[in-house]
Amino acid sequence: MAEIIQKDGTWTFDGDTVRIVPGKDKGVSLLRKALGEVAVPLGALAGISFEAGRRSGRLRLRLREGADPLLQITGGRLGDSSYPYLLTVDKDRSGVAEYFVDEVRNALVVEQVEPGPVDRYLLPSPALPITVSAGDASITFDGERIRLEWNWKTEESKSSGGPRTLALSEVEAVEWLPSAGLENGYLRFLTSRAPVSTPPKYDPHAVDLYGFRKDPLMALVGAAVVARLPHPRAASAGLTAAPAAAPGLIKSAASTTDTADTAAASGDDHDALLRRLRELGELHQAGILTAEEFSTAKQAILKRL
């Protein structure tokens, strides 16, 4: 097992899952604290890197496109302070961070995890029920209904109709945009019967966000709803979206080519590991794996033998 403990949080890797626990330091963002512990299955990873710095470094996970409902809703617009897959590492722990990277990369090679996009969510949504107050509203989502309640900052034309409740079946899509400069952000629920041209300030299906400290928490509500809508890639292919599965049940997409080998290898079965070693040798001979990649993967298997 690889583990790195910092004030910013603790990351552990057991060969199958990267487990992330946010730190209790006052500098840790509200979003990361509210999200809590996150278990990232190996099959959801596209890569990992360590960025060294003069005073501290940063350990970063890169997830496969479409694997995480939170990243799906935030679309790369989530700031580094709130990004749950980033760990600030003290300079004197850079060696541990580099070892952590090597262990994860070895596992990705051994399990032949493809870095490309997926057509189902491999990470679960934020825990339900969830309630967040920010901007001009409070939102509660219990998995079936979304309830928006207005506060004193809400425009009268928007609040005059009273609290708004939407059934999940009514929602076709969710949009989240952080504030930038003088422009407000918003969280909006799109339905077939509501015009999308209405500014969030006046839209009874939207929350207007002003850029305050709690605003990023609205992304958690958006992620919880998105996780229960058809996955965009599955929908485009005409497939039925699978619900977000528990991390312990996720399997690498690449490993599904040989279910028996994968199941045996996960238990360090001797014959399965030897078969995997032969497969890697064939990939190396075919020019698919470089000599360095083959050597790294081989050493990882030999350790398990």
pLDDT in tens, 94-130: 999 999 999 999 999 999 999 999 999 999 999 999 9
Q: What pLDDT is stored for residue 233 in this prediction? A: 87
More confident position, 261 or 229: 229
Q: What pLDDT is stored for residue 58 in this prediction? A: 96
Reply yes or no on whether the pLDDT at 235 is more than 70.
no
Cα atoms found within 13 Å of the Cα of residue 186, Cβ hemisphere only: 20
Report the chain's mean pLDDT, rounded to a whole number. Answer: 85
pLDDT in tens, 48-77: 999 998 889 999 999 999 999 999 999 999
- Residue 108 CA to residue 105 CA, distance in Å, equals 5
What SS3 string covers the chain? Answer: CEEEEECCEEEEECCCEEEEEECCCCCCCHHHHHHCCEEEEHHHEEEEEEECCCCEEEEEEEECCCCCHHHHHHCCCCCCCCCCCEEEEEHHHHHHHHHHHHHHHHHHHHCCCCCCCCCCCCCCCCCCCEEEEECCEEEEECCCEEEEEECCCCCHHHHCCCCEEEEHHHEEEEEEECCECCECEEEEEEECCCCCCCCCCCCCCEEEECCCCCHHHHHHHHHHHHCCCCCHHHHHCCCCCCCCCCHHHCCCCHHHHHHHHHHHHHCCCHHHHHHHHHHHHHHHHCCCCCHHHHHHHHHHHHHHC
pTM: 0.77
pLDDT bucket at 291, cuts 50 / 70 / 90? confident
pLDDT bucket at 270, cuts 50 / 70 / 90? low
Q: Are 145 and 167 in contact (CB under 8 A)?
A: yes
